[in-house]
Amino acid sequence: MRGRLPAIVAVLAVLLACAAAFAQTPAELLIGRWELVSQRRVVDGKGIPDQPVSDKARSTIVFGVDGTWQIFATSHAGSRGTYRWLGPDRIESTTIEAPVPAGNGAIRTIAIEVNDRQLTLTVTLTAEELKRTGGQAKPGASLPQTLVVASTLRRLPD
């Protein structure tokens, strides 16, 4: 029995750690540093496969307990803003400072799926929102009527 005691204690510790992770709310799980790893886009109902993020486009977003967020990006200036929970799986985000001045003051509803390792942020943008915040269509094309962007992020150590 003495030889089994450390193994039993180890198993109990793992079970307690798992239980603690499951007990966290989405609001608690959101807090921390997250690195963007891929994005999936749906343009006017047509899906584009997940696109991994290159090292040049790598960015980190930090969600604070005080209702603020900040993006640190390698390819361009970051941005920052505030968020508030609308429900267990949605936040309202307000951009205070964006790389494109037209993005300042933008308010968006973002769907959230979060666990202790992964975060998915999904936002739906209309053509008007894209145009207002500096979105540009390719030459000879028009802006989509709807653009859904699902960003997948992985948790970074604190």
- The CATH number of the domain holding residue 61 is 2.40.128.490
| Domain encompassing residue 137 | 27-155
Q: Which of 111, 146, 110, 108 is nearest to 127 (CA)?
A: 146
The count of domains in the chain is 1
pLDDT over threshold 80, residue 126:
yes
Lowest mean pLDDT among 39-43, 125-129, 130-134, 148-152: 130-134
Quick: pLDDT tens for 73-87. Answer: 876 678 999 999 999
Q: Is the pTM of this model over 0.85?
A: no
Could you tell me if residue 20 is inside a domain?
Answer: no
Task: List Cα–Cα distances, 57 to 50, 69, 117, in angstroms.
Answer: 15, 19, 21
Quick: pLDDT tens for 30-75. Answer: 999 999 999 999 999 998 888 888 877 789 999 999 999 999 987 6
Could you tell me if residue 62 is inside a domain?
Answer: yes
